[in-house]
Chain A
């Protein structure tokens, strides 16, 4: 079974600084998709960014970008110019041939 590991239960960053959240996964599949979801205190799950495993180019969405290392099975999220509104739980997720599997999450605090 596929597993997703987020080794940082909590992270903090100063406003306007950059922070990187780590994620590793385990799979034997060659074709899959990876996602980062944000869950603010409102508890809504919001898709932040996604990456297709067959694409070598790292995905970017405004201030959010990923570092996808397929051989290492690593999928980190970089948030640039952090804003107070970025404070939330961040979940890494994997989807191969079946269901979407989530990591345990990283709580990000943004300090003013």
Chain B
């Protein structure tokens, strides 16, 4: 099992540009989560999907952020336009279900820097 795969590992972009982060969950996992990690706010849940359907996007900070899960093996988090305050590490995680008692399996994260 390759685990949760995120790409790119690092992304540096200029303010105003569109940024797309990608995630491939573990095969067979039905739930997918996007988290953002910053020094000030820690780990925040942005959005999560169950069976490819968005369940809770209350953590998405602004309309500039959007997420999709077109199929069970792929999800994207897009920021358009990007701003310097979006600089953070973005994690994708997956689990067998959102009610699992086994926690979530995390990807290695994407470090986003917006200059």
- Which A residues fall within an 8 A CB radius of B? 33, 35, 37, 42-45, 47, 50, 52, 91, 93, 95, 97-105
Contact = CB atoms under 8 A, between A and B. Distances in A.
Contacts, number: 45
A98 B45 CA distance: 11
B56 A50 contact: no
Contact of B45 (A44, A91, A100): A100
Interface of B: 33, 42-43, 45, 48, 56, 89, 91, 93, 98-99, 101-106, 108-109, 111
A99 B101 contact: no
B33 A102 contact: no
Given A52-B101, A98-B56, A103 B42 contact: yes
10 contacts: A33-B103, A35-B103, A37-B103, A43-B108, A43-B109, A52-B101, A97-B99, A99-B33, A102-B42, A105-B42
B108 A44 contact: yes
A65 to B, nearest CB: 17
Nearest to A36: B103
Q: Which of A44, A95, A100 has the most CB of B within 10 A?
A: A100
